Chain A
Amino acid sequence: MSLPRSPMAPPRSFLWSRRVFLTLLTGFVLVPVYVMISSSLKPLADVTGTFRWLPTELTIRPYIDIWSTVPLGRYFVNSLIVAGAATVCSVVIAVFSAYAVSRYDFRGKRVFTVTVLSTQMFPGILFLLPLFLIYVNIGNATGIALFGSRGGLILTYLTFSLPFSIWMLIGYFDSVPRDLDEAAMVDGCGPLGALFRVVVPAAVPGIVAVAVYAFMTAWGEVLFASVMTNDTTRTLAVGLQGYSTLNDVYWNQIMAASLVVSVPVVAGFLLLQRYLVAGLTAGAVK
């Protein structure tokens, strides 16, 4: 909690404009959330006719039907595996890279950081097809199935969050005093011991923030998921479209499924958002 900003109370006009602005903004933010929740509890008739703010009756039927209309459970498991593995790998790799950049002077350091950051700029569409061809060729040459497999998707997604993660962790590690890891090394830790015993524990908020970001990136990606998966490896991002390509559009089920796939990330994000703000404050925004 921060202290009052000024010793004097803010003027009434400020309080009123704040009230009006924040109320309107809350409405804008909440209406879709309300539509998602309320429609997911409506019978089909309520979502096919004119929109109704209130359901004629509350039903949990959509929440039962979503699992059989499309194989949502399988998509869910796929998304969990892909996003979970991509997050763990991305965080570990980012920790190593950020430690190297933060603690060592070496030739090519600037080239590395600039190159990694500039990949953020590439339009995904530019390397979608080449990457697809590379994965197919690797598969033909070595038998490692990257195309259509979860492994290929994990590899792809972890690089999406790497640049931001490395960038943010560099800032975070820089704020951990070097005396600490030097003391650890005097006590007999190697550089990696110092990293895991001293630097990483001191940078937990930054690492949590990076993990949240990496998970959200992988959980929400659509473009590569739509090209690089098949029936058995399909993730939620593509699978959710299954409800609307049928003859009827089951809007109540779509909303229920959307809610179900959102709850893990939104809950996780809201629980950890403190860390994200703290991590951004210490790391990225300096």
Chain B
Amino acid sequence: MRKSSPGAARGPRRRPGRIRRIGLPYLLLLPALLLELLVHLVPMVIGIVMSFKELTQFYIRDWGTAPWAGFDNYSVSVDFDAPVGKALLDSFLVTIAFTLLSVGLCWLIGTAAAVFMQDTFRGRGLLRALFLVPYALPVYAAVITWVFMFQHDNGLVNHVLHDQLGITDKPSFWLIGDNSFIALLTVSVWKGWPFAFLIVMAGLQNIPRELYEAASLDGAGMLQQVRRITLPSLRPVNQVLVLVLFLWTFNDFNTPYVMFGKTAPEAADLISVHIYQASFVTWDFGTGSAMSVLLLLFLLAVTGVYLALTSRGRRTAS
């Protein structure tokens, strides 16, 4: 079906190029397509090629001349008995734990806040604006503030926990050692939950009010309304939201990089920073690329399974 048919009838008189018209959708897509090719798709293919090369700093100036390495980079990456593979596996597991906790908490807090703020009450608009501040702040500004708060000697966290409440015996280190996981998770949830809040809030506006009115006339309580109306209506929104949160959190580089710099403590060694460190600090780009490809394959697999599961769920539900 040609939506442009009325215009096309008088087209030839004013526009000599009739062919341009048929090609118009492609012409409109061209800039986006070219840019995606240049910045994402071509580099990705080059990245895959690089993962099969022995690409150390000696070859980086003219990477085409680097010798082929076959699957060596991959076998080094997944040899979990050797230091490189073991470190990658540890980093992967840390990232999984971190992502699941962060996404779960972001979703929970965001949904709870959106549901609680569905009704109007005094100060609702102000509160909503306030809640979006962590999302609006540039990552580095927000994370640097948390780094200051987590300082051992002059930070707020130790001052409150140790000096004021006396919960810890002595001031703790938050940015090194095992505590760094908690610190990273806190910052990630603080930055991430407003996005869930925003999306769920938008989703809630599409639920017809009559549903709630009918339910409350039938004597359904608040909790029942949330369980029977709100959550099922949000299902399609949540399916996308959780996937997006998962991918963003799993690939997050900005937060750990600003918090810990080029080398993160083991407990908070997220995979993006780990690969960055493997490539740019040790100058082994072949292995770094192989690790990136493995990460991409994992994300593709997870996304595929997730979409298959959720779309089947949607089909049986409807």
Cβ 8 A contact of B272, one of A93, A123, A266: A123
Interface flag for B101 (CB, 8 Å)? no
CB distance from A243 to the nearest CB of B (A): 9
Cβ 8 A contact of B35, one of A158, A258, A281: A158
Interface string of B1-44 (1 = CB under 8 A from A): 10110110011001100000100111011011101101111111
**Would B154 and A285 count as touching, CB distance under 8 A?**
no
A284 CA to B139 CA in the complex, in Å?
24
A122 CA to B272 CA in the complex, in Å?
11
Q: Which residues of B lie under 8 Å from residue A200 when comparing CB positions?
A: none
13 cross-chain CB contacts under 8 A: A2-B120, A32-B142, A32-B190, A93-B31, A122-B296, A123-B299, A125-B272, A191-B7, A226-B257, A227-B280, A258-B144, A262-B142, A265-B136
Interface flag for B315 (CB, 8 Å)? no
Interface flag for A149 (CB, 8 Å)? no
**Would B159 and A162 count as touching, CB distance under 8 A?**
no
Cβ 8 A contact of B32, one of A22, A116, A240: A116
A178 CA to B4 CA in the complex, in Å?
10
Q: Which residue of B lies closest to A18 (CB)?
A: B116
**Would B32 and A32 count as touching, CB distance under 8 A?**
no
**Would B146 and A129 count as touching, CB distance under 8 A?**
no
Interface flag for A11 (CB, 8 Å)? yes
Q: Which residues of A lie under 8 Å from residue B50 when comparing CB positions?
A: 129-130
CB distance from B198 to the nearest CB of A (A): 7
- Interface of chain B, main secondary structure: helix
Question: Known contacts A125-B275, A125-B288, A226-B257; can you find 4 more A-B pairs with CB under 8 A?
Answer: A3-B120, A109-B25, A182-B3, A258-B145
- How many residues in A have their beta carbons less than 8 Å from beta carbons of B? 109
A276 CA to B202 CA in the complex, in Å?
9
**Would B276 and A130 count as touching, CB distance under 8 A?**
no
Interface flag for A1 (CB, 8 Å)? yes
**Would A122 and B136 count as touching, CB distance under 8 A?**
no
**Would B156 and A129 count as touching, CB distance under 8 A?**
no
Q: Which residues of A lie under 8 Å from residue B272 when comparing CB positions?
A: 123-125, 223
Knowing A129-B285, A191-B7, A276-B198 touch, does A236 contact B140 (C-beta < 8 A)? Answer: yes
Which residues of B line the A interface, CB within 8 A?
Answer: 1, 3-4, 6-7, 10-11, 14-15, 21, 24-26, 28-29, 31-33, 35-36, 38-44, 46-47, 50, 63, 109, 112-113, 116-120, 127-142, 144-146, 148-149, 151, 153-156, 158-159, 163, 190, 198-199, 201-203, 205-206, 209, 212-213, 215-217, 221-222, 225, 236-237, 240, 244, 247, 251, 253-254, 257-258, 271-272, 275-276, 279-280, 285, 288-289, 292-293, 295-296, 299-300, 303
**Would B156 and A51 count as touching, CB distance under 8 A?**
yes
Q: Which residues of A lie under 8 Å from residue B159 when comparing CB positions?
A: 50-51
Which residues of A line the B interface, CB within 8 A?
Answer: 1-8, 10-11, 14, 17-18, 21-22, 25-26, 28-33, 35-36, 39, 47-51, 93-94, 96-97, 99-101, 103-106, 109, 112, 115-116, 119-131, 133-134, 155-156, 158-159, 162, 166, 178, 181-182, 185-186, 188-191, 194, 216, 219-223, 226-227, 236-237, 240-241, 244, 251, 254-255, 258-259, 261-262, 265-266, 269-270, 273, 276-277, 280-281, 284-286
A265 CA to B133 CA in the complex, in Å?
10
**Would A222 and B213 count as touching, CB distance under 8 A?**
no
Question: Interface centre among A21, A31, A285, by most B CB within 10 Å?
Answer: A285
CB distance from B138 to the nearest CB of A (A): 4
**Would B251 and A131 count as touching, CB distance under 8 A?**
no
A241 CA to B260 CA in the complex, in Å?
12
Q: Which residues of B lie under 8 Å from residue A166 when comparing CB positions?
A: 32
Q: Which residues of A lie under 8 Å from residue B247 when comparing CB positions?
A: 120-121
A189 CA to B7 CA in the complex, in Å?
7
Knowing A112-B33, A270-B129 touch, does A285 contact B202 (C-beta < 8 A)? Answer: yes
Q: Which residues of B lie under 8 Å from residue A105 when comparing CB positions?
A: 1
